[in-house]
Structure 1
Amino acid sequence: MNVLAALLALGLLVVIHEAGHFLAAVGQGIRVNGFSVGFGPALIKHERKGVTYALRLLPLGGFVSFPDDDENSTIPDDDPDLLRNRPIRQQVLVISAGVLANLLLAWVILVGQSTFAGIPSAPEPGVMVVAVQPGEAAAQAGLQAGDRILSLNGAPLGVGQKAVRSLVEHIQAQPGQSLELVSSSHRDGSSERQLTLTPADRDGQGRIGAQLQANLTGALHPASNPFEAVGYGTTQFAGLIKNTVVGYSGLITNFGQTAQQVSGPVKIVEMGAQLSSQGGGGLVLFTALISINLAVLNALPLPLLDGGQLVLLLLEGVRGRPLPDRFQMAVMQSGLLLLLGLSVVLIVRDTSQLPLIQRLMGQ
């Protein structure tokens, strides 16, 4: 059930992203001829008012198609309602609307959680383990999603983000060295246990293969007014965006270490299932986190992504005329090959790290 919940959340995020593009186009009277979730052959298709809605075989994203890209379209090339014939500002809005939709969804989710579930009274001592990668140092030490790390080498970690930073700094500074932890878990009545954690050495820095956050599992109190709920949700939203941008910037500044942490669809679903096992709050956090990641990823200036299309559009604006069709086609085809190749590599890698697969390989 936890895996199904994670899959449904991912599907929702893809639909919301593509709906942003779709609504921005339709709202401006721009012609659209397709709305698809997934790639490849269509499993389910339905046509309504000239738009074909489809659920496709490979659930790795989605797309909105326009008559501009349809060689068999009967619409004249000079039709003013074609996307390419609209002013640059209208095209920019259509392309960026998917990113904006995902950011808006994440903000609404976090503010909604603050409004209806409540706001933590204060962080509790320790650091919460949000997700654990199978086979990595954290999993080998016995840590699981939902555990709370209370002390490191006999010293309490403290509370809030200060505790998270302290733990991460110690881990990064001591690759290959044994660290003594005390953790607790609600699964076994919150009993404390001692663990030995040995960070892996990744280019001179310690890595444990776990996502950590402040221990915000204490009692919740209702927001005293709507402004408090909006303020707390917005603060969470800004913090997640900052951490996500910092993470992606590492692909440029420290590619060797950061690339190993990139997750594919299998790993994302596994993380979602782990968070879902912690209850509705975990699934909410997963949905908001992945929605922000999807927005930031699509904003990158890479071929086939929204950011890459914006770059091409801005170049067209600077030149004062469209870029050559051959050049645009080459960029898009290279982007498609890169995306599909990376997806296959990540799926194979992440699937091979699943506990069930590792057990089968070990037999």
Structure 2
Amino acid sequence: MGVLAALAILAGLIVVHEAGHFFAATWQGIRVSGFSIGFGPVLLERRRRGVQFALRAIPLGGYVAFPDDDEDSDIPADDPDLLRNRPLPQRALVIAAGVLANLLLAWAVLVAQGAVVGIPAGFSATPGVVVAAVQPGLPAAASGLRPGDRILSLAGTSLGGGQSAVEGLVADIKAAPQRSLQLVAERAGSTVALTLTPDAQNGIGRIGAQLQPSGSEAFRPARSPLEVIGHANRTCLKLIRRTVDGFVSLVTHFGETAPQVSGPVKIVEMGASLARDGGGSLFLFTALISINLAVLNALPLPLLDGGQFVLLLLEGLRGRPLPQRLQLAFMQSGFLLLVGLSLVLIVKDTSQLSAVQQLLGR
């Protein structure tokens, strides 16, 4: 059920994104020919008012199609309701609407969290640091650490609890490249002793693990609707800043950040775990993934909304569209990039699943 819930969330976020494009176009009277979730061959379809609504075989996103892209369309090329014949501001709104829809959804989910679960009232910390994820082939995995382990002590000294325990452990790891560290961790109710030797990256110790405080978030009922909205505003802005910082870090520190990038398989695994735990985490997960989808699509890359915006901006500066062959080459390169990157991430994430690791005898 957890996996189904995570898949439903991801599918819903894609639907919301594409619905933003769809309704921004139809609201302005712009002709739309298709609304698809996924790419490739059609699995299910329904036609309504001349629009094909389709579920396709390759679940790597979705798209809204326009008659402008159909060479066999019987609509005259000078039809004022074709997207390409509309003024630049109207076309810009259609392009931006997907990103805006995901940001609005993230905010609405955070409002729902405040209304249903409550307002965060502090973290109830327990001793230790939880290992949330481990990257195969790196020191944490080599030492025997597993996701779900709770590290209790380092070199015989208890870690304490809360965010300060995480920060202290991270500082000790960074300060100990190529040095053996003795850990005691709790796993399934029993303790295990492990030896961890961080790698050295630019003189700083790295282990390839995601660490988080041990404990749970406490919530209290909201005092008023204004408090719910205020908390949603602050949390949404914080998540947007963190997401943008993450993408900037990916560009500026690619070698260190790239191994942390996750694809759809890892996202579903994380969502399934949160769905089983219940509580407010699933709301936050939904908002965070929706914001990530918005920021990702805003990047000025081929096939993404940001890439379309770049083409529109160049058209505005030139006073006429770019040659069709250049636009086509731009979009095709984006499709190959998207499919290639998605396949790499799917293979990487699948190989890290615990069930696959057991089959491989790791």
TM-score (norm 2): 0.87
Question: Separation in 1 of the partners of 2:226 and 2:86?
Answer: 40
Using the alignment, how far apart are the partners of 2:353 and 2:144 within structure 1? 17
Q: Give the aligned partner of residue 323 of structure 1.
A: 322
Worse-matched range after superposition: 67-76 or 351-360? 351-360
Matching of residues 199-218 of structure 1 within 5 Å: 199-201=198-200, 204-212=203-211, 217-218=216-217
Instruction: Identify if the C-alpha distance between structure 1 residues 69 and 59 changes in structure 2 by more than 3 Å, giving closer, same or farther.
Output: same
Answer yes or no: is the 8 Å Cα contact 2:35–2:64 preserved in 1: yes
2:309 is aligned to 310
**What is aligned with 2:219?**
220
Q: Which range moves more in the overlay, 194-203 or 241-250?
A: 194-203
Q: Superposed, which structure 2 residues align to 1:155-304 within 5 Å?
A: 156=159, 159-160=162-163, 164-179=166-181, 197-201=196-200, 204-212=203-211, 217-304=216-303
Aligned residue for 1:30, secondary structure, equals: coil
- The AA in structure 1 aligned to 2:339 is L
Shift of the 265–204 alpha-carbon distance from structure 1 to 2, 3 Å rule, reads: farther
Aligned-residue offset at 1:166: 4.7
Q: 1:88 to 1:230 in 2, by over 3 A?
A: same
Contact 2:133 2:146 in 1 (8 A): no
SS of the equivalent of 2:360 reads helix
**TM-score, length-scaled by structure 1:** 0.87
Distance 1:79 1:354, change over 3 A: same
Q: Give the 3-state SS of the residue equivalent to 1:21 in structure 2.
A: helix
Quickly say closer, same or farther: Cα 1:326–1:242, change in 2 above 3 A: same
Task: Count how many residue pairs are aligned between Structure 1 and Structure 2.
Answer: 358
In the TM superposition, 1:2-81 aligns within 5 A as 2-81=2-81
Q: 1:172 & 1:106 partners in 2: Cα distance? A: 34
> In the aligned structure 1, how far is the partner of 2:247 from the partner of 2:36?
27
1:148 Cα offset (Å):
6.2
Post-superposition offset of 1:6 = 1.1
CA offsets 1:128-151 (integer angstroms, 9 cap, x no match): 655555665556554535x66676
Give the residue type in structure 2 aligned to 1:231. G
- AA at the equivalent of 2:114: S
- Return the alpha-carbon distance in structure 2 between the equivalents of residues 192 and 169 of structure 1: 23
Give the whole-Å Cα distance in 2 for the aligned partners of 1:207 and 1:275.
27
2:86 matched to which residue of 1?
A: 86
The 1:87/1:179 distance shift into structure 2, 3 A limit, reads farther
Q: Matches of 1:52 and 1:201 in 2, distance apart?
A: 54
Query: Which consecutive residues of structure 2, in runs of 5 or more, have no partner in the other structure?
Result: none
Equivalent position SS for 2:123: coil
Give me the whole-angstrom Cα distance separating, in 2, the residues matched to 1:359 and 1:309: 44
* 8 A contact 1:203–1:257 mirrored in 2: no
CA distance in 2, matches of 1:119, 1:134: 37
Q: Is the 8 A contact 1:131 1:271 kept in 2?
A: no
- Describe the SS at the equivalent of 1:220: strand
Report if aligned partners of 1:37, 1:55 keep a CA contact under 8 Å in 2: yes
Q: How far off is 1:355 after superposition?
A: 2.1
Larger displacement relative to structure 2 (199-208 or 77-86): 199-208
Which letter maps to 1:20? G
Once the two structures are TM-superposed, the CA of residue 280 in structure 1 deviates from its matched residue by: 4.0
Fraction of identical pairs, as percent: 62
- Paired residue for 2:99? 99
Higher strand share: 2
Query: One-letter code of the match for 1:36?
Result: S
Q: Distance in 2 between matches of 1:226 and 1:167?
A: 39
Alignment pair present for 1:144 and 2:175? no
Q: Which residue number in structure 2 is paired with residue 340 of structure 1?
A: 339
Shift of residue 183, structure 1, vs aligned partner: 6.6
Q: Which amino acid counterpart does residue 302 of structure 1 have in structure 2?
A: L
Q: CA RMSD in A?
A: 2.8
Contact 1:123 1:214 in 2 (8 A): no
Which one-letter code corresponds to 2:250 in the other structure? L
